[in-house]
Amino acid sequence: MKLQEVIVQHGSPEYDLVVGLRYNILRKPLGMQFTTEQLAAESKNHHLALFHGETPVACLMLLPVTENRSMQMKQVAVDDTLQGQGIGARLIAFAERFARAHGAHTMFCHARQNAVPFYLRQGYVIDKEPFEEIGIPHRYMEKKI
């Protein structure tokens, strides 16, 4: 599938489409919504997506690089009709390239327990004890990039 790597500007029409994808994949199944305040607070983050034509099929968010050269990846989502086809792996590769270009040496995330095998396949390792976020079990995972 021909996919385009896009850095999405916060507040743009493409951003609204990406928020729609994140809602469908990450929030709707939990019966949760994004609030206006939550979305406004994302303006300093980097929003990366893979588009098929005009449609985002995968996306994630990166927080600004920290003083110790780490970058946090959040809200990784692939369209549910397209999962298991290598698109998630392509998205992570895009994010790691972007993070290195912004001076990051480490990428980390709070992985939902169900996604841990996916991150292990991408070279991430588990650290610390399990914890809960938005009511579901998570693991801290990181990778030197």
Ligand X SMILES: CC(C)(COP(=O)(O)OP(=O)(O)OC[C@H]1O[C@@H](n2cnc3c(N)ncnc32)[C@H](O)[C@@H]1OP(=O)(O)O)[C@@H](O)C(=O)NCCC(=O)NCCS
Q: Would you tell me which residues interact with ligand X (CB under 6 A)? A: 25-26, 76-78, 83-89, 111-112, 114-115, 117-118, 121
Locate 6 and state its tokens. Answer: 């896009």
Task: Retrieve residue 120's tokens.
Answer: 């292990």
In this structure, what DSSP letter does residue 28 have?
A: G
Min dist. Cβ of residue 59 to ligand X (A): 9
Residue with the closest Cβ to ligand X? 88
Closest to ligand X by CB, 11 vs 93, is: 93
CB of 57 to ligand X, least distance (A): 9
Residue 2's alpha-carbon distances to 5, 21, 84, in angstroms, are: 10, 18, 16
Q: How far is the CB of 119 from ligand X (least distance, A)?
A: 8
**If DSSP codes are grouped into helix, strand and coil, which group holds residue 101?**
helix
